[in-house]
A = this chain, B = another copy of it.
């Protein structure tokens, strides 16, 4: 028997927000921790991370689920992935479900596949009677219109982070969770609305095992940040690989992120990780990465919170 632990994050970024929004961020994190941890008594690490991520998706505070940003066409499209018992399930470029993490769970449970994408994944969500997404929120629609207007007027706008990383990093991105359950098993889950003004159909690291998430018997990790950089350096896999080699979770997370930072610079990514003994760590090369954990001893701790404007 282990003392269960659940760790979550709300996205690495600059997070330039006011104090009212910061309160919403904290509340959403605590809600997700509590909801996820409730399942630690009868459920598995997988149940815990899925419920935590589902709560973060529903909060509307983060760029995932209800709070998902829009692509260049003005539409939402989301990615999500889960991993448990050496098996992964994921979805990419989905528009229909309110909770992509639940669709990833169905891919995990009911198919022989790992990753299902696009309109076919949306069809699957309907078959499984998942709740529909209400569409992008007002904040994103407003920002989208502002940028489209600038583009129409010939203003040179950095429409994608290759040109101006900071543009979307102001808002924060992906949400994720890792957990250790009472049986000593580890799980990871992640969900995202992707990057603002991405090309439609673009898939980032979130639905790719080893990039956006990874979990095995040694450890579990989830990534957040620039998807292309995370795919290129296998952030989650590299961290868990190190843990499997006997490296402690702090050094392992640092080393993995260091590879990415050395290659692509700062303000690009973050990671949370946990090992089978319940040691956990959160690290990011951005200004903030709201994260927190809850454990069987009754501790709830939040960290990485942004400074307010």
Whether A92 and B210, one on each chain, are in contact in the complex, defined by CB atoms closer than 8 angstroms, is: no
Copies of this chain, tallied across the complex: 2
Say yes or no: A210 contacts B234, CB within 8 Å.
yes
Which residue, of A93, A160, A162, A201, has the highest number of chain B Cβ atoms within 10 A? A201
Contact of A116 with B228 in the complex, beta carbons under 8 Å: no
Closest to A230 in B: B114
Q: Does A274 contact B (CB under 8 A)?
A: no
B112 touches A161 (CB 8 A): yes
Is residue A121 contacting chain B, with contact meaning CB distance below 8 A?
yes
| Chain A, range 97-121, C-beta contacts under 8 Å to B | 111-121
A232 contacts the other chain (CB 8 A): yes
Chain B residue at minimal CB-CB distance from A201 = B120
Complex interface residues of chain A between 178 and 213 (CB less than 8 A to chain B): 198-203, 208-210
Q: Verify B118–A228 contact, CB threshold 8 A.
A: no
Asked whether A92 lies within 8 Å of B123 as measured between CB atoms, the reply is no
Given known contacts A203-B92, A209-B231, A237-B234, A118 and B115 CB-to-CB distance under 8 angstroms: no
- Verify if A88 is at the interface (C-beta below 8 Å from B): yes
